[in-house]
């Protein structure tokens, strides 16, 4: 039997959400704007070091936040205005203290328009090369001749994995199982999770190569081979003082060895768990399960035999 767990690929998937509630837009995608956004290095210098936090709002609050620009707000966002429906309302908080009120409506062409006294800010949500992006312009004087372009990213939880693990079998059964895993990648979340609470995974990228060699006795060696990819329509990221973890992130089988004795159908669902933990909590953890393929890997550094190790490093970056 020849099977080799070759690649755990993280294929980017956009999260598409529909707005809900009174006066909300029926079009999908409006809630994708919600969360923290930090302009990247390609953005104009005036936006560097600023974080935009987008939150849902009601019409009266968004109009109040638009201040002296409420005439523009009414043109694009007033619920009973011509061509405005469907409409969803938002407020945009700048980390520097500014507050803007605006909307996504039938007149904004899918963009989020927001205003503050004497200022205009607008952007559109896009999924670009595996990354959710907010691409737009900030006009701090309300004058289009004085504008600052930005491309902003959601927070990113990056990870790296390196595993070398030996499982010694019981007498009369398999002699040993040698497991190795290496790789790196990352997942995006809409905002920083509050301490020890979780945020939903929006999408991800990267890969983990997993290889299992089973030694069953004299002249018996088996390699197991399957390729799976991340399908992040669910799953969460959590960060605490002692632990950072990805939990129940969906994966699917992308390909399998045709000589596999135990069939492993393409599209078979599974899940991934990664934990970056302190030694006090038994160290790092990796878990990968695809039930239809009889694949269940669950390894913790705290249970590792001498010479084995499980290392998961996770870094959380506000600016993606």
Mention every residue, 6+ apart, whose C-beta is less than 8 A from residue 309: 162, 163, 164, 165, 301
Amino acid 183: pLDDT: 85
16 pLDDT more than 70: no
- Rounded to two decimals, the pTM is 0.81
β-pairing verdict for 2-10 and 220-230: parallel
251 pLDDT more than 50: yes
> Region 55-61: what's the mean pLDDT?
98
List, for residues 254-283, the tens digit of each pLDDT value: 777 676 656 778 888 889 999 999 877 789
| Tokens found for residue 82 | 């011509």
Instruction: Give the residues across from 142 on adjacent strands.
Output: none
| Tokens found for residue 47 | 């936006």
Instruction: Say how far apart CA 261 and CA 3 lie, in whole Å.
Output: 8
Instruction: Say how far apart CA 134 and CA 124 lie, in whole Å.
Output: 6
Instruction: Say how far apart CA 300 and CA 100 lie, in whole Å.
Output: 47
Greater confidence (27 vs 216) lies with 216
List, for residues 125-171, the tens digit of each pLDDT value: 998 887 899 999 999 987 777 799 999 999 999 999 999 999 887 76
Nearest to 188 by CA among 120, 231, 109, 132: 132
Amino acid 23: pLDDT: 31
Instruction: Give the residues across from 305 on adjacent strands.
Output: none
Instruction: Say how far apart CA 306 and CA 126 lie, in whole Å.
Output: 48
CA distances from 261 to 1, 52, 135, 255 (A): 6, 53, 49, 15
The end-to-end CA distance of the chain, in Å, is 42
């Amino acid at each position: 039997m020849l099977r080799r767990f070759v690649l755990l690929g993280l294929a980017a998937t956009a999260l598409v959400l529909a707005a809900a509630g009174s006066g909300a837009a029926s079009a999908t995608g409006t809630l994708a704007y919600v969360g923290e956004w930090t302009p990247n290095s390609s953005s104009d210098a005036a936006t560097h070091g600023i974080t935009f936090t987008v939150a849902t709002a009601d019409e009266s609050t968004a109009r109040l936040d638009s201040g002296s620009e409420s005439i523009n707000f009414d043109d694009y966002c007033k619920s009973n205005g011509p061509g405005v429906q469907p409409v969803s309302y938002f407020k945009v908080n700048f980390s520097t203290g500014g507050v803007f009120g605006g909307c996504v409506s039938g007149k904004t062409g899918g963009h989020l328009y927001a205003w503050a006294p004497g200022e205009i800010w607008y952007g559109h949500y896009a999924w670009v090369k595996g990354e959710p992006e907010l691409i737009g312009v900030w006009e701090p004087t309300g004058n289009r001749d004085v504008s600052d372009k930005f491309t902003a990213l959601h927070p990113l939880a990056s990870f790296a994995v390196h595993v070398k693990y030996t499982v010694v079998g019981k007498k009369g059964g398999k002699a040993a199982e040698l497991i190795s895993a290496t790789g790196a990648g990352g997942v995006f979340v809409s905002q920083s999770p509050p301490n020890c609470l979780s945020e939903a995974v929006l999408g991800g990228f990267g890969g983990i190569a997993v290889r299992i060699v089973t030694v069953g006795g004299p002249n018996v060696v088996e390699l197991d081979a399957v390729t799976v990819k991340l399908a992040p329509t669910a799953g969460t990221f959590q960060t605490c003082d002692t632990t950072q973890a990805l939990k129940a992130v969906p994966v699917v089988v992308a390909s399998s060895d045709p000589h596999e004795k135990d069939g492993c159908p393409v599209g078979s669902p599974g899940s991934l768990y990664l934990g970056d933990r302190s030694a006090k909590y038994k160290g790092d953890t990796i878990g990968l399960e695809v039930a239809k393929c009889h694949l269940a890997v669950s390894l913790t550094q705290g249970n590792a035999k001498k010479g084995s190790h499980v290392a998961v490093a996770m870094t959380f970056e506000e600016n993606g």
